[in-house]
Amino acid sequence: MAPEDGQWLRRADFEQVLRLSAHLIDPAPRTVLEPLLDTWLANVSQGLHALGLPTEWVGVEAAATYAIMLKDNKVSDAVGQRAARMLLVLNYEEMCQFPECYCPRPRRAAEQKKAYVMNCIAHACGLGDPSKSERDLIHNYLRQGRWLWVIASIVGLGFALICSEELMST
């Protein structure tokens, strides 16, 4: 049956969908979950979330903490890293809605909200006046987190958290 608008997936798009769907579940999900289970109790005993993430995830300082943890590979398991990226996106979007509630400095005259929030996060990371590559790194975590939210909206959060790294690099 033809779609109502008469649009079919182009062959290349269809092939990409098939290729990427093979990466929705890691071929060895046990390797994704074992490190998580090994560190669960240790994380909780240290006052962290069971995934090894700080329990405070809202605000500029929290966003900076999450970005630094991702940059320094402080979250050892893939599930925790993905959860950190997803929480970073939620935090960033909230801060972009109400930057005056979160950013410690006044907004510059020509500074757009998203750039303002990004600069505040980068500055809170201890970068002073952040370089383009430092801002790009934070932006990349946000891009990956958004991609995880897209995957989660289609196949569910569980699949998004254990998908193959191949899917994340696409």
Which residue, chain included where needed, has tokens 């801002």? 135
Q: How far, in Å, CA of 40 to CA of 29, rounded?
A: 17
Within a domain: 87 = yes
The answer on pLDDT for 23 being more than 90 is no
Angle 153-49-86 from CA coordinates, rounded to 5°: 25
pLDDT tens digit string along 40-66?
A: 677 777 777 767 778 888 999 999 999
pLDDT higher than threshold 70 for residue 5? no
Q: Which two tokens stand for residue 143?
A: 């891009």
Q: Give the 3-state secondary structure percentages of the chain, helix then strand then coil, rounded to 5.
A: 65, 0, 35
Q: Indicate the length of the chain as a whole number.
A: 170
For the segment 89-124, what is each residue's pLDDT rounded down to a tens digit? 999 999 999 999 999 999 988 989 999 999 999 999
For residue 46, give its domain range: 29-168
Q: Please tell me the total count of domains within the chain.
A: 1
What is the rounded distance in angstroms from the CA atom of residue 4 to the CA atom of residue 138? 40
16 occurs within a structural domain = no
Q: Tell me if 9 is assigned to some domain.
A: no
Inside any domain, residue 3: no
* Domain assignment of residue 8, yes or no: no
> Whole-structure pTM over 0.85, yes or no?
no
